Structure 1
Amino acid sequence: MDAIRILGNYCSDKKPPAVNWIDGRGKSVVCEAIIHENVIKSVLKANAVVLVELNILKNLTGSVMVGVLGGFSAHANNNVSAIYIASGQDLAQNIESFHCITMMETVNEGRDPQVSVRMSSIEVATVGGDTQLASQLACLNLLGVKGSNKLTLHCYKCITQYALKSIKQCNHLILHSKKIMSLVGDDTYHLDLCDATCCSES
């Protein structure tokens, strides 16, 4: 009897490998936003320069010092896990899908911070496993991706929105520049975030 191996574990399923951080697996997504100066001052009691410096020292330098692989963010894995549980995903895939880097820079003459989140290997499914449970199926149906042959970009959109929310630390920031890009092979998708559920404009 011969054992036929379909995978050689190079896909590094459910492990945090460098190859997925570099080449991506599933979907690679970029989400960015510009946050108004008045919101930064009134809600976070800070300014754009302070936030940019904090991101460099904590999310980037701090992560490098401890040898983190793919975790240059403000706990994106919490948000990935929440979406995965709600939509019936394989929760063990969290260890790959949380790969995230948060970048910040000042724009508009240094008044506003522009925040960019890149997640290189988000893995989601709309059929099989716990996606058939009643609550999880209802969540997928709410997103409009229930069943096979459905566009799953909505799932990636939700995950990156919540990842972006985690660095904002509040749920009522005013965004005046919003876009999301999903880069997969030669395909590029641009989705409008005006209907984002992770933040309410006021």
Structure 2
Amino acid sequence: MKNYKLILFLLTLSNCVFSQNTSNDTLNINKEEPFDYKKYYDCDFGEGNVLIVIKKGKEFTDLKELKKSGKGFAIKMEAIYSMEFTDGKRYESSVVKKITQDSLSIMNFFNENAAKLAGESFKQITYPLSSLKYIRFIDDGMLSLYSKKNIQKNFDLIVKKMDRAKMCPAIIQFKDRNGEMKVCHFYLTSQGYDLLYENNGRVYYLEGRVEWK
């Protein structure tokens, strides 16, 4: 895998069982048929909760203003964020699955293959929002350098119901891998969103030429 950068992530435990409709995120499709996204991953951008992480003392108006002003950022379902909680557990490649007014639910690994490689079950874990301690933004993937945001000290958390509450993953065809199809989740970094994919249980940044479906 010489053209891809490996994401290092800590092994984590969780409490309740969850399964998604693709067990390993590598998709086999008939290239002669029209592509049907929902056949391979059940996600739509629709209405739901978005978690707004905003600097203390600042007022939230909209997502575009939030990003432009540097007041904070938003956490959406189906995307990946580097988070640490008050129990000391840190999650690097775990997908956000549900946001409520007082809780955040994430998968303990990117997918079942990643969990299997770690010798763990693929599960969902739910935390109260009050236990979110740090969010990290990767600054340099090659050197694994992160900047760390102290959520409890410097930010407020606001849950807003919005029309486009999810960042549904991209289904991408890798031409240089014999047309292999993979589910690629969005991952928030200091530079914006990157895409991650899984191969043989390991999670990588997406690089190189790809074809979007």
| TM beyond 0.5 | no
Judging by fraction of residues, say which structure has more helix.
Answer: 1
Judging by fraction of residues, say which structure has more strand.
Answer: 2
Whichever of the two has the greater Rg, that structure is: 1
Q: TM-score, normalised by structure 1?
A: 0.27
Q: TM-score, normalised by structure 2?
A: 0.26
